[in-house]
Amino acid sequence: MAVIKTRNQIFPQPEQFLVRDSINRDILNQMVSHPKAGAVLLFEGTVRNHTHDSNQEVIALDYEAQASMAQKMIYSICQDVLQLSGIHAVAVQHRLGRVELGIATIVIAVSASHRHEAYLASRTLIDRIKHECPIWKREIFRDGSSQWSQGCTACSATEYHQPKQTKSPHNLV
């Protein structure tokens, strides 16, 4: 029977999953450090100067969330990922509000016994957080205009765009 792992492997506290200040990757890295870890993977989503939706130059993103629901869902996704093989700890922070070009919008840290486990856990975390959690981004363009992102702009065009029939958070993993 699988042992349910406890909160001390999920960082930071859930009320710090969503933050308005810049994310410190070194702190998240430190949070997941573990004597049994042979691999630590840090994923950072960053603001880039273009999107799928538009030919305009993006200078920043602006994030909004149903924060209490998003926190609970991120925590639940972290719990699921800790049940994967070889995972020692996970840490997640996602920005809210305006984030400038080149700056991290989300940082995900994972420590695992082996690198393959770290890659699987990291991808599962970012994919599920992007596809399931009630967080939205608005693209702010050089000319001062803006538009809400249509689904997952960091995905390739052929990827999952949250069609209604498969949107349940429970049938994605």
Partner 1 sequence: MTKTIEVRYYAQLKGILGKSSESLAFDLPANENEILRQLQSRYPEASEMLSLSRIAVDETYLSEDQIISDFESIDVITPVSGG
Binding site for partner 1 (CB under 8 A): 45, 63-66, 68-70, 72, 94, 105-106, 126, 129-138, 148-154, 161-162, 164, 167-170
Burial call 113-145: b when 16+ CB within 10 Å, e when fewer: beeebbebbbebbbbbbbbbbebebebbbeeee
DSSP assigned state of 113 = S
Q: Which does 26 bind (CB under 5 to 8 A by kind): partner 1, a copy of itself, none?
A: a copy of itself
Question: Could you tell me which stretch among 5-13, 29-37, 74-82, 165-173 binds a copy of itself (CB under 8 A)?
Answer: 29-37
CB count in 10 Å sphere of residue 82: 18
Q: Which does 20 bind (CB under 5 to 8 A by kind): partner 1, a copy of itself, none?
A: none
Cβ–Cβ < 8 Å for 33, 110: no
Closest contact distance (angstroms) between CB of 110 and a copy of itself is 10
Place of tokens 């998240």: 28
Which residues form the interface with a copy of itself (CB under 8 A)?
25-26, 29, 33, 35-50, 101-102, 104, 111, 113-116, 118-119, 122-123, 126, 154-156, 159
